[in-house]
Amino acid sequence: MTKDISLKLPLLQASPAAGYAGDISPEQAWAWVQTGEAVLVDVRSDAEREWVGFVPGAVAMAWKQWPGMEPNPQFDAGIVAAAGGKKAVLLCRSGVRSIAAARRATELGLQAYNIFEGFEGDPDAQAHRGRIGGWRLRGLPWRQN
């Protein structure tokens, strides 16, 4: 599904961040993935990807797993294997869990970035997501089961 490309942000360099390589726009992440310099890692739970939507070709590597949102014991080995020496661009629902995951990936020796706004963006005044920013709203590739 795609939306009007006029919603897209310009491609910018990463914003500095503490403990990981930086924060990048969804468009920058997608540009890096398309050129092969980065791997997109979706750190949302399996349930979120199944119910809300997913990015085709992204590596599914939950930071925490539903129910209970327990840490994923396979995260460390999985993210290292997924990155394969490339930049890792991490996506979650709103860009919060992906910060924690990017910090951990950096501790493991990876060049890891958080995708700000995440997949669904911030909640609006009615607490609904998907209307203010996010991967989907910006018209980047995604699918829903």
Does domain 28-145 fall into CATH 3.40.250.10? yes
Q: What is the mean pLDDT of residues 82-103?
A: 95
pLDDT tens-digit readout, 39-88 = 999 999 999 999 999 999 999 999 998 888 899 999 999 999 999 999 99
Model confidence pTM above 0.85: yes
88 three-state secondary structure: strand
pLDDT at residue 1 in the model:
42
| Residue 9 CA from chain centroid, whole number | 16
Q: What is the mean pLDDT of the chain?
A: 90
Find out whether 26 and 119 touch, Cβ atoms under 8 Å: no
| Residue 101 CA from chain centroid, whole number | 10
- Where along the chain do its domains lie? 28-145
Q: What is the mean pLDDT of residues 2-10?
A: 43
